């Protein structure tokens, strides 16, 4: 067992006897400034090593002092001598249901755009493991869970979401000393069912011919919503929750705040001339600041109207229908149209809020037109650099 100090510069955990870190930081000076974090390290029965962050016992949001570390270290030494250390770990007494109740009631979690989906995913996982103690779960249990859900007809991506949501919950719990790192190990060992995200990404886009056809059959109150998705690539939640104070007509921008977006990152979305024509025709509500209203109330669901318009326009509708269209495909459509127009990828990612190249690529669809144009460009290139070769039409050797 040992007490460790964490360097505030490189986060390296090391002996409290060290006066200087390998990175060059003066640890003694950092101690006087109160910038050192302390950890205790010990081995569990079976040889597994565990590190435990030391918090202020009077305020668990604050880091503990060296004296707090000494007290925590002494407590674990006594528990180990009495062969009680496994029973004293928090995950030894906590069920997944109990941990989920704590997690989903956190204000920061409830404010997430995907809170309902997250809650449903945790509930699905807890239908099987809810009453299990967290330290009882091993990797094989999770593999059995995957097989069970697949036999019940769940898609690979959906089963992955169940386990992924629980993994994220455990990670948050570990940060708050409600579970240890060993609780996360089985969830890190189990492999995702969905091996290739790109292979399973939706590739449906709304063609330039389909867009006006669909618009012609939409109810009036949904036309501007579809236009916003088509010309901005905004998510449906971002569109439906849009308020007039976020629309800058003079600057021709929609200014989304962090609280308005899925990834909690503020961004500005340019308003095209076509979209501007739709927005300026929308009357402002007398008692509601939302942009998109129906009978004076914010619109919360567009599926019925969109489904009916698709049917009239001869467009397949539905996420599980081959070639079916859903509103989220407008995000793919916007990315693809921008890329075809020659807009730099970095600019498109800034507008749509894609933080990683992988996610951007999922929404950038390559179609047959792109491939034919690619061949034409290659032919033009080869015509400039290759000597003319006449195909040999003679038969035989």
Burial code of 316-325, b = ≥16 C-beta within 10 A, e = fewer? Answer: ebeeeeeeeb
Q: What is the pLDDT of residue 75?
A: 79
Give 231-269 pLDDT, tens digit per residue. 999 999 999 999 999 999 998 999 998 888 877 778 888
Q: What is the pLDDT of residue 267?
A: 87
Q: What is the pLDDT of residue 199?
A: 46
Q: What is the pLDDT of residue 15?
A: 92
Residue 146 has pLDDT above 90, yes or no: yes
* Structure confidence at residue 322 as a pLDDT band (50, 70, 90): confident
Closest listed residue to residue 149, CA positions, set 127, 170, 134: 127
Q: Which residue has the higher pLDDT, 77 or 382?
A: 77
The overall average pLDDT reported for the chain is: 82
Q: What is the pLDDT of residue 365?
A: 58
Write down all domains in the chain, each with its CATH number in brackets: 2-88 (no CATH), 92-189 (1.10.150), 210-367 (1.10.443.10)
Q: 117: alpha, beta or left, given left = phi > 0 and alpha = psi -120 to 50?
A: alpha
Q: What is the pLDDT of residue 281?
A: 92
pTM of full prediction above 0.85: no
**Structural tokens at position 131:** 């009453």
* Structure confidence at residue 389 as a pLDDT band (50, 70, 90): very low
Q: Which residue has the higher pLDDT, 60 or 56?
A: 56
Instruction: Please name the helix (run of DSSP H) or strand (run of DSSP E) that holds residue 185, with its range, or none.
Output: helix 181-189
Alpha-carbon distance of 194 to 392, in angstroms, equals 48
pLDDT > 90: what percent of the chain? 38
Residue 387 has pLDDT above 80, yes or no: no
Contacts of residue 178, Cβ cutoff 8 Å, sequence gap at least 6: 90, 91, 94, 99, 102
**Structural tokens at position 46:** 């079976």
Q: What is the pLDDT of residue 388?
A: 46
**Structural tokens at position 157:** 């991506």
Q: What is the pLDDT of residue 198?
A: 44
Q: What is the pLDDT of residue 141?
A: 92
| Highest mean pLDDT of the ranges 157-171, 342-356, 357-371, 377-391 | 157-171
Give 188-199 pLDDT, tens digit per residue. 888 888 764 444
- Cβ count near 385 (within 10 Å): 6
């Amino acid at each position: 067992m040992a007490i460790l100090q964490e360097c505030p510069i490189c986060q390296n955990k090391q002996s409290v006897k060290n006066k200087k870190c390998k990175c060059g930081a003066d640890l003694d000076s950092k101690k006087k400034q109160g910038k050192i974090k302390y950890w205790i390290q010990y081995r569990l029965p079976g040889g597994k090593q565990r590190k435990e962050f030391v918090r202020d016992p009077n305020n668990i949001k604050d880091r503990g002092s060296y004296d707090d570390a000494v007290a925590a270290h002494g407590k674990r030494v006594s528990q180990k001598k009495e062969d009680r250390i496994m029973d004293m770990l928090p995950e030894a007494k906590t069920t997944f249901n109990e941990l989920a109740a704590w997690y989903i009631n956190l204000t920061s979690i409830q404010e997430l755009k995907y809170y309902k989906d997250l809650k449903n995913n945790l509930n699905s996982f807890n239908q099987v493991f809810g009453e299990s103690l967290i330290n009882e779960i091993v990797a094989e249990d999770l593999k059995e869970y995957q097989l069970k859900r697949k036999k019940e007809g769940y898609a690979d991506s959906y089963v992955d979401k169940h386990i992924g949501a629980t993994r994220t919950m455990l990670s948050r719990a570990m940060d708050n000393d409600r579970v240890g790192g060993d609780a996360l190990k089985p969830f890190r060992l189990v492999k995702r069912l969905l091996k290739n995200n790109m292979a399973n990404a939706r590739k449906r886009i709304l063609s330039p011919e389909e867009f006006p056809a669909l618009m012609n059959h939409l109810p009036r109150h949904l036309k501007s919503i579809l236009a916003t998705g088509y010309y901005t690539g905004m998510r449906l939640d971002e569109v439906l929750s849009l308020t007039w104070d976020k629309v800058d007509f003079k600057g021709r921008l929609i200014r989304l705040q962090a609280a308005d977006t899925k990834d909690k990152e503020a961004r500005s979305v340019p308003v095209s001339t076509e979209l501007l024509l739709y927005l300026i025709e929308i009357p402002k509500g007398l008692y509601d600041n939302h942009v998109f209203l129906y009978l004076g109330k914010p619109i919360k669901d567009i599926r019925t109207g969109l489904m009916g318009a698709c049917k009239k326009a001869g467009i397949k509708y539905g996420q599980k229908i081959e070639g079916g269209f859903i509103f989220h495909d407008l995000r793919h459509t916007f990315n693809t149209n921008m890329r075809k127009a020659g807009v730099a990828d970095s600019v498109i990612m800034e507008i749509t809020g894609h933080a990683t190249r992988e996610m951007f690529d999922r929404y950038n669809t390559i179609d047959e037109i792109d491939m034919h144009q690619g061949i034409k460009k290659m032919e033009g290139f080869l015509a400039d650099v290759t000597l003319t070769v006449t195909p040999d039409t003679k038969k035989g050797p």
